[in-house]
Amino acid sequence: MEILRNVITRTAVSVCLLFTLSACDTLFPDERVAGTIPVHLKHVDTSTCPMTMKINNTDWIVDYFGLYVSNPEVRIDGKWQAVSFTQNEWQTAKVALLKYHPSCGGDKAGNTKLKINASEKLMQLATNLRFMVGLPFDENHANPLTQPSPLNDSTMFWSWQAGHKFIRLDIHNSQQPSQTWSYHLGSVGCESESAMRPPEKACKFTNRVEMILPMTQLDWELDLSLSVPVMLSQVDLTQSEGCMFESPENPVCGQLLKNLLHRPWLDWQ
């Protein structure tokens, strides 16, 4: 099944960048290492713990938010060139985990940066950045007991058969704590002998989303902005409990996938 794509036009991003720069006087710190891309949450009050965000004029508490991205590439002189992530506890060479899990008690670490193993010169030559939200088949369905960090994070794993949760979002209504809502995106329709075995072929719905973001040449200090409310556009959180490993044929799941594909939920800041 062909990878789903979300392509943001250069014109739209240029307008967004111009607007953002006109309203911001803060420069990036000089000590930033080339290839480091902070990913900030937009429309979320991060001054409180746990975090809160407003959706349809209602405050929702963010209990958990994480997502996997993989296979980073940059476009130079019209050709795509594979790059690797800098390996650490949050990244392998080809997979990174962004994690905005609340750390109110100081015991739950998170990661809000992508670190690409690329020089300043290489980043300045690039005209596009491409990566996938989700995991390739081999990493998604490998033995969970032997995978390296961050693929061994049990909170982002569903089953050996279905694989990992590409996106995990758990929230609850601040005024009605019993009202919860979750979005767990992963591959669906994965067939194997049991949930404890990997599928032998591609799942019916891979649910991987390819992101292509334009870059301005000579600019290597880049920040991304991620909007959870935009991800949830046109979804009434009070009328469902969410979407957890269900087919895109489900109305709620289908709308959420359309948002990932066609709305600017992830953009340059």
Retrieve residue 233's tokens.
């556009």
Decide if 213 is inside a domain: no
pTM score, whole prediction = 0.86
Q: Mean pLDDT in each 10-residue stretch from start to end of the chain (269 residues)?
A: 56 36 39 88 79 88 95 96 97 96 67 93 92 97 92 94 96 94 96 86 94 84 92 94 92 96 94
Decide if 56 is inside a domain: yes
Under 8 Å between Cβ of 161 and 196: yes
Decide if 11 is inside a domain: no
Give the domain extent around 261.
Answer: 34-207+218-268
Decide if 15 is inside a domain: no
User: How many CB atoms are located within 10 Å of the residue 151 CB?
Assistant: 19
CA 263 from centroid of its chain's CA atoms: 14
Retrieve residue 189's tokens.
């329709």
Under 8 Å between Cβ of 167 and 183: yes
Decide if 10 is inside a domain: no
What's the structural domain count of the chain? 1
Decide if 7 is inside a domain: no
pLDDT of res. 110: 86
pLDDT of res. 2: 52
Decide if 28 is inside a domain: no
Retrieve residue 46's tokens.
């991060």
Q: Are strands 180-185 and 242-244 parallel, antiparallel or unpaired?
A: parallel
pLDDT of res. 21: 34
Residues 46 and 61: their CA atoms lie apart, in Å, by: 11
Q: What residues have CB less than 8 Å from 19, skipping those under 6 apart?
A: none
Structure-token match 């799942």, residue found: 203
Decide if 47 is inside a domain: yes
pLDDT of res. 13: 37
